[in-house]
Structure 1
Amino acid sequence: MRSTAREPGAVRRWEVARPPVPVRTPGVRMAGFRDRGPGPVDVRVVPHPAVTLALGFGDGPLVVDADTGRRKRGSLVTGFMHGALRVRGEHVECVQARLSPPTAYAVLGVSPAELDGAVVTLDDLWGRDAARIRERLGEARSWRERFAMTDDLLARRCATGRPVDPRVAWAWERIVARGGRVRIDDLAAGAGWSRKRLWSRFRAQIGLSPKRAARLVRFDHAAHLLAAGGDAARIAAESGYTDQSHLHRDVVAFSGVTPVAVADTAWLAVDGLAWAGHRPG
């Protein structure tokens, strides 16, 4: 399926494609992006509870700038963000895969904890395999073919990679299912661990503490409701915030902008097309 999105306040248009059939690997969602121009891309990235794999194959490479001043280009992996990121480029074409943290642990060959919010080039992570998939994606003649290639790649890596502890995976799924509205003591009891052991195992394999993961999932849920035009006070109540000020503080903490500004971001505008039926994780 293809759609076109206009970024707020700009003439930029994106072609957005989604896989025609479900992907095989649980915890993986994919979309394709083609920059239609004119002019360069410059998009603020809104944090979300997934590890992002961007496989570029177009003439213009993706360039990601972090608020720390670091810059990466090409096919990239982005861990959980702890600050602002901007995606730049021109004539960008890529397949983007969002990996739930338990799946990312197997697919990437490293724990999301080792990424620690960083942007890493796929060449650094996968070596020659990254160059091969980039070349094959560039030679493909359709989005369907590109999605099938990416699906095969991720399925193979997941099948041979290290699985997370089932109790860690259960805790993550519980956080997602409850929209981040969970008590850490209840998660620990459900996993049969102490709070300290849950924190240690979860942080090592997921890349966030359970509390931070719950906050990120809750923020993601609220941000999408804001982008859909919902009332901030009602969203705060529905998302488990104590009040609208609490929502405001969390949105600023994660995105660096106010709820009004985050609702207007181009990232979330395209997000609604690329990840229809959005469900974090």
Structure 2
Amino acid sequence: MGAVYRERRAARLPATIWFAGASGLEAGPMVRRILPDGCVDVIWSSDGRLIVAGPDTVAKLAHWVPGVRHVGVRFDPGHAPAHLGVDAGELRDARPQLADLWGGGPARRLTHRLAASGERAAQALEDALAARPRHRELADPLVPAIVAAIGGRSSMAGVAAATGLSERQLLRRSRRAFGYGPKTLARILRLQDALRAARDGGDLATVALEAGYTDQAHLARDTRALTGVTLTDLLRPSGGGQDTAAGGVGTSAAAASAANRSTWLPSGSRTVA
């Protein structure tokens, strides 16, 4: 049967709610390639794990075990710190247990609540996160302006000017809100835009230019650097048996040969590789 993945927009959070897993008919784990997307996820798995997937800088390989369900809240870029109470820079390329951030008691109670929620686990996770007090000191009002300026292909000087910050201030605030600086965020979001356009059937040379790359070769180099595979591999319909959704046991794509020594590394990418 293969992998199952679906998502919807959250009603009470600046986030996407998702459900994922491998059907129980597979002989073994299904491998998925999780692409960086600038987001932070809170992920519960039906085998009892409750973790936070920080913003990734490179792709991860993930193994979905048949019969294990994963539900998650994927915060829009820059919004997780205020809801989780932690600087996004501390979560970069990390997968801490939620208990490490909230304490064992609250995390344990939430885990029990989710386990008892059955098919409503995703809604229960959204409700639990929405009900917690926001950490206003970590809510940066400039996040939307920074993302919009980056999406508009502005230079870093242009992003700083659009937000009324110096470039040093922009770097510091970006690291706290997104987990990395504006150049890295721009590179990740540009690749996401290019892949969406390419999957819609766009000519790759045109896709590259419209996404802000110098040329198609530039897109190809960035794709390989961020995902660990070629652009052709990512766009192949079968994805080489790999795609991007969320959740799994994995390792960095750059260390694909070491996948058998993988650790629990779910993430939340909106792109299917």
Q: Is the 8 A contact 2:41 2:75 kept in 1?
A: yes
Change (3 A) 1:228 1:121: farther
Cross-structure match for 2:223: 251
Say if 2:116 is the partner of 1:139: yes
Aligned residues: 240
Cross-structure match for 1:36: 23
* Superposed CA offset, 1:84-142 (max 9, x none): 42222422201122112321111221111011222222232233322222222221132
Q: 2:4 aligns with which of 15, 18, 22?
A: 15
Say if 2:240 is the partner of 1:263: no
Change (3 A) 1:189 1:160: closer
Cross-structure match for 1:55: 44
Change (3 A) 1:131 1:263: farther
Q: 1:172 aligns with which of 147, 169, 174?
A: 147
Identity of aligned residues (%): 31
Larger mean CA deviation between 158-167 and 81-90 belongs to: 158-167
Q: Is the 8 A contact 1:43 1:267 kept in 2?
A: yes
Letter in 2 for 1:24: R
* Superposed CA offset, 1:138-181 (max 9, x none): 21132xx32331221221236355443323442134324x3xx1
Q: Is the 8 A contact 2:72 2:122 kept in 1?
A: no
Q: Is the 8 A contact 2:78 2:178 kept in 1?
A: yes
Q: Is the 8 A contact 2:3 2:30 kept in 1?
A: no
Cross-structure match for 2:129: 154
Q: Is the 8 A contact 1:102 1:163 kept in 2?
A: no
Q: 1:118 aligns with which of 94, 114, 125?
A: 94
Deviation of 1:22 after TM superposition, in Å, equals: 4.4
Q: Which runs of 5+ in 2 are unaligned?
A: 247-269
Letter in 1 for 2:131: R
TM-score (norm 2): 0.78
Q: Which runs of 5+ in 1 are unaligned?
A: 1-11, 62-73, 272-277
TM-score (norm 1): 0.76
Letter in 2 for 1:187: V
Cross-structure match for 2:75: 99
Change (3 A) 1:133 1:258: same
Cross-structure match for 1:24: 12
Letter in 2 for 1:85: K
Q: Is the 8 A contact 1:113 1:205 kept in 2?
A: yes
Q: 1:222 aligns with which of 166, 191, 194?
A: 194
Alpha-carbon distance between aligned partners in 2 of 1:134 and 1:161, rounded to the nearest angstrom: 25
* Superposed CA offset, 1:5-49 (max 9, x none): xxxxxxx52333434x742112x1111123213122222212112
Alpha-carbon distance between aligned partners in 2 of 1:83 and 1:140, rounded to the nearest angstrom: 33
Change (3 A) 1:229 1:135: farther
Letter in 1 for 2:164: G
Cross-structure match for 1:130: 107
Alpha-carbon distance between aligned partners in 1 of 2:10 and 2:124, rounded to the nearest angstrom: 13
Alpha-carbon distance between aligned partners in 2 of 1:222 and 1:138, rounded to the nearest angstrom: 38
Q: Is the 8 A contact 1:105 1:162 kept in 2?
A: no
Q: Is the 8 A contact 2:42 2:51 kept in 1?
A: yes
**Equivalence map 1:181-260=2 (5 Å):** 181-260=153-232
Change (3 A) 1:92 1:85: same
Alpha-carbon distance between aligned partners in 1 of 2:16 and 2:10, rounded to the nearest angstrom: 9
SS at match of 1:88: strand
* Superposed CA offset, 1:31-84 (max 9, x none): 11232131222222121121122211x24x6xxxxxxxxxxxx32222222334
Change (3 A) 1:137 1:221: same
